[in-house]
């Protein structure tokens, strides 16, 4: 049975002078791993976490703002990829809440959540929680445990 020239590959025909097939495969795998690690490091730069003191929210028609939530001092660049938040209110109390950077906000419909609505904004800028009483909430509400996680690229 005669073999086609395309099908007759042996280890001698793919060997470079002085390098074994094993060494060539190891080098190729190393280069491939290096390329993937560079791609992954560019795709997910990191995250930062910040907390704010408790707030007393007293009005439905005017928002109460948290202290600014800022990234660590060493962060000098990056864009927000996603945000996650958490806060606590006593059971039975109702608030309207937003998380904002400058004039761009995401509505927080629950005490815990995450969103990509702020994606593309600078990860170096401060964010704030904005709260107001729900129209049917008759008394002031204390919001505790304000925490923010910013994932950035």
pLDDT of residue 30 exceeding 90, the answer is no
C-alpha distance across the termini of the chain, in Å: 59
Fold (topology level) of 45-152: Jelly Rolls (2.60.120)
Predicted pLDDT of residue 2: 53
Is pTM beyond 0.75? Reply is no
Contacts of 114-120 with CB under 8 Å at 24 or more apart are: 114/82, 114/83, 114/84, 114/85, 115/82, 115/83, 116/81, 116/82, 118/80, 118/82, 118/83, 119/79, 119/80, 119/81, 119/82, 120/79, 120/80
pLDDT tens per residue, range 87-143: 999 999 999 999 999 999 999 999 999 999 999 999 999 999 999 999 999 899 999
- Domain ranges (residues) in the chain: 1-43, 45-152
pLDDT of residue 38 exceeding 60, the answer is no
pLDDT category at 23 given cuts 50, 70, 90 is: low
């Amino acid at each position: 049975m005669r073999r086609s020239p395309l099908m007759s590959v042996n280890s001698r025909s793919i060997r470079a002078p002085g390098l074994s097939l094993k060494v060539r495969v190891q080098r190729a795998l190393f280069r491939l791993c290096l390329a993937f690690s560079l791609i992954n490091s560019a795709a997910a730069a990191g995250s930062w976490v910040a907390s704010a003191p408790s707030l007393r929210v007293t009005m439905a028609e005017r928002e109460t703002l948290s202290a600014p939530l800022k990234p660590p001092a060493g962060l000098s660049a990056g864009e927000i990829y996603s945000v996650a938040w958490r806060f606590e209110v006593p059971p039975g109390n109702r608030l309207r809440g937003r998380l904002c950077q400058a004039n761009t906000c995401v509505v927080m419909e629950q005490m815990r959540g995450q969103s990509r609505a702020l994606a593309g904004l600078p990860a170096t800028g401060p964010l704030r929680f904005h709260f107001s009483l729900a129209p049917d909430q008759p008394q002031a509400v204390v919001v505790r445990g304000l925490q923010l996680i910013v994932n950035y690229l």
